[in-house]
Amino acid sequence: MQAVADSVFKALADPTRRALFERLTRDGELTVHVLTGFAGVSQPAVSKHLTVLKRARLVSHRQQGRETHYRAEPKALGPLVDWMSFYGVFWRERFSRLEAALERMEP
């Protein structure tokens, strides 16, 4: 589980990969060819980025003829969503404790 979360964070730390993933969540299934036109980097670079996204399970693919079609798997964002809600609760609770600690401190 930790390894999965880690790979999701690493995959999305790169702006080109974020752009590719976001595009796929918006437009559904796209070919490497179409994604290359959009990303503004070479096709080998796009393929490399897609491999990283695939390892993080953020995208899946299928082969059709000579073209590889990619689609987003937004469920893989789970760890990211969990992380944010976990720390939201965590810090609210720590702020209450901080206030209590301030009350106890000498003026």
Partner 1 sequence: MSEVSTATRSVVVEKEFAYPPEKVWRALTESDLIVQWLMENDFRPEVGHVFQLRSTPMPHWNGIIDCKVVTVEPPERLSYTWGSMGMESVVAWTLAPTPGGTLVRMEQSGFREDQEANYKGAMYGWQKFFGGLERVVGEISEGGDV
Instruction: Quote the longest CA-to-CA distance of the chain.
Output: 75
Binding piece for partner 1, criterion CB under 8 A, among 27-35, 46-54, 55-63, 95-103: 95-103
The one-letter amino acid at 94: R
Helix/strand/coil (H/E/C) assignment for every residue in 54-96: HHCCCEEEEEECCEEEEEECHHHHHHHHHHHHHHHHHHHHHHH
Q: Which residue has the tokens 């096709």?
A: 43
Nearer to partner 1 by Cβ, of 43 and 85: the residue is 85
Measured from the CB of residue 66, what is the shortest distance to partner 1 in angstroms? 27
CB 94 to partner 1: min, Å: 6
- Beta-carbon-side half-sphere exposure of residue 71 (alpha carbons within 13 Å): 7
Residue whose tokens read 């996204």: 53
Which residues inside 48-87 make contact with partner 1, applying CB under 8 A?
74-75, 77-78, 80-85, 87
Nearer residue to partner 1 within complex by CB, 6 or 67: 6
State the residues that interact with partner 1 by CB under 8 A.
Answer: 1-3, 5-6, 9, 12-16, 18-19, 22, 25-26, 39-40, 74-75, 77-78, 80-85, 87-88, 91-92, 94-95, 97-102, 104-105, 107
